[in-house]
Structure 1
Amino acid sequence: MASPAQPSLSELIDQTTILSLLSTVAFLGAAYYGSLRLLPANAGAKTRILFIWHAFDALIHTILEGGFLYNCFFSYTTPSLWKGQQLPGVIPGGSTSAYLAPDVYFLGHKDRLYGALYSTNPLGALWRVYAKADARWGGSDLNVISLELLTVGLGAPLAAWVCYCLVKQRADRWFWMIALATGELYGGFMTFAPEWLSGNSNLDTSNWMYLWLYLFFFNMLWVVLPGWIMYEGYQQFNPAAKRGDHKKRK
């Protein structure tokens, strides 16, 4: 059997892809600018990195992932509009959504298919690009939506609260950072564990951009940084580790 044709470079890096990547860079720039404006002048490098990460985290969760949820709940199509054409996100030859089990309907609507695949707004276009690597983000995968409700509803406000705690140097800032980092790591595991257990049926790793940029790099950010924060938090709460750190500074 012949292998499927690989997308060309122009198909991989189109206008929507470029704008999507630039938006991520813009969020990082905004987070850095916020650190310059809000943190005390004597803030150390570690505090600045923590602020930038959590501000970036809050922006990504609120705007991009909030946009994902908006499209899941408010962007939809009905099969009758397609007049016999193959619908995106539908199993060929079948009538059920590729993202749901048979006879399961998102929000109970049997005549609708929800998700970014059927949207007309810019954030829908962004998620259609990412869905080329992980198809679940184009439709109404129940596991992903459930995790994103927690991420947008709790994770984003908590990340913003951590930024405030860092600015004010609150004594409880490490508690909140560890709580958020734990949630980020758990959410990442629960996002990909169903794929690992089902043979990665929704993931496309056929080219470098889908595998290394979309799936590996962007998701590993939410593993490496939370993992580092949990390690640093342990140092803060462990008296023996703090004594060792004090001796090193001497």
Structure 2
Amino acid sequence: MANMTSMISHQYFPPTILLPHYAANETSVLSLIGQFGVLWVAVLGSALILIRRVRPTASGSDQLAFVWMCLTGFIHLFFEAYFVVNYAGLAGSQELFGQLWKEYSLSDSRYLTSDAFLVSMEAVTAFCWGPLAFFIAYCIAVQHPARYALQLVISLGQVYGDVLYYATSLFDLYVHNVEFCRPEKYYFWFYYFFMNFIWLFIGSYYVKQSVTEITKAFKKISQLQASEKAK
């Protein structure tokens, strides 16, 4: 009986999930968020300095795209890859990324229960979109013509992943009456909704930008071809 009690003694929802390796975070929430924030600022600042040195004539739009691809590449390839590699024992981790995932899991406990969808989805995100984001950043820096096609691929993938992420948890909530988020609104609106909506919103913007630029390119080709035929 004591064993069973220790297995379910945690803060996650639903309270009945079993986390036999669970250990409470040793670092405070403010410290965890602060450390993660410092990493974000370091990546953003380094990326901005890099693009301005490598391509000083880059437009503000291209600089922002470069910085975004570096940030999203870092999050995918390191933070999300950490989850994929360590998902089985994540509940007991005391490493920085492990504790951050446990804190985030207060809004979605599926991350601590080896959920098949999340492990699979995060694996694709980490090992496909992560490297691709850095390659797109390179394409922006050197003005490679493949930039918009690849940007469309990754952005569509991010939007699709976010839609599925929201849809699967909401399906469980409204159809199966299973809630993975704690009742406090902070966890739902800031962790679950806002932190994922960033990729949905920015991804949608870059889908639109990519489609617009690719359409312009094909329109110019069509006009040139028509002009050649008219000669």
Q: Is the TM-score greater than 0.5?
A: yes
Counterpart-to-counterpart distance in 2, 1:203 and 1:197? 11
CA distance in 2, matches of 1:157, 1:63: 10
Deviates more, 1:175-184 or 1:194-203: 194-203
Supply the AA of the counterpart residue of 2:44: A
Structure 1 equivalent of residue 158 of structure 2: 184
Residues matched between the structures, number: 191
CA distance in 2, matches of 1:131, 1:227: 25
| C-alpha distance in 1 between matches for 2:55 and 2:121 | 35
Structure 2 distance, partners of 1:35, 1:242, is 32
The 5 Å alignment of 1:198-209 reads 198-199=172-173, 201-204=178-181, 206-209=183-186
- Structure 1 residues 115 and 142: CA distance shift in structure 2, 3 A: farther
Contact 2:105 2:111 in 1 (8 A): yes
Q: How far is the alpha carbon of 1:17 from its aligned partner?
A: 4.5
Structure 2: stretches of 5+ with no match in the other structure: 1-26, 221-231
Q: How does 1:1-250 map to 2 (within 5 A)?
A: 15-38=28-51, 39-72=54-87, 114-199=88-173, 201-204=178-181, 206-239=183-216
Q: Provide the TM-score with structure 1 as the length reference.
A: 0.69
1:55, CA displacement in angstroms? 0.4
Shift of 1:71: 1.6
CA RMSD of aligned residues (A): 2.5
CA displacement at 1:66 relative to structure 2: 1.4
- Please tell me the residue identity of whatever aligns with 2:140: L
- In the TM superposition, structure 1's runs of 4+ consecutive aligned residues that sit over 6 Å from their partners are 240-243
User: Are the aligned partners of 2:159 and 2:199 in contact in 1 as well (CA < 8 Å)?
Assistant: yes
d(CA) in 1 for partners of 2:35, 2:189: 17
| Distance in 2 (alpha carbons) for counterparts of 1:130 and 1:205 | 11
**Identity, % of aligned positions:** 23
Partner deviation per Cα, 1:173-215 (whole Å, 9 max, x = no partner):
0001000001101111222211121216243262232022101
Which letter does structure 1 place at the counterpart of 2:92? Y
* Partner deviation per Cα, 1:117-173 (whole Å, 9 max, x = no partner): 132433221111011111111220110000011111101000000010011011110
- Mark the runs of 5 or more structure 1 residues left unpaired by the alignment: 1-13, 73-113, 244-250
Letter in 2 for 1:168: V
How far apart are residue 116 of structure 1 and its match? 1.4
Query: Residues 136 and 202 of structure 1 are in contact (CA less than 8 Å); yes or no, is this contact kept in structure 2?
Result: no
Q: Give the equivalent residue in structure 2 for 1:101.
A: none
- 2:43 and 2:116 map into 1 onto residues whose CA distance is 32
Q: What TM-score do you get using the length of structure 2 for normalisation? A: 0.75
Q: Secondary structure at 1:198's aligned position in 2?
A: helix
Separation in structure 2 between the aligned mates of residue 131 and residue 230 of structure 1, nearest angstrom: 29
CA spacing shift, 1:48–1:205, aligned 2, 3 Å: farther
- Give how far 1:21 is off: 4.7
Q: Hey, what's the Cα distance between the residues in 1 that align with 2:217 and 2:59?
A: 23
CA distance, structure 1, for counterparts of residue 217 and residue 143 of structure 2: 23
Q: Aligned equivalents of 2:83 and 2:30: distance in 1?
A: 16
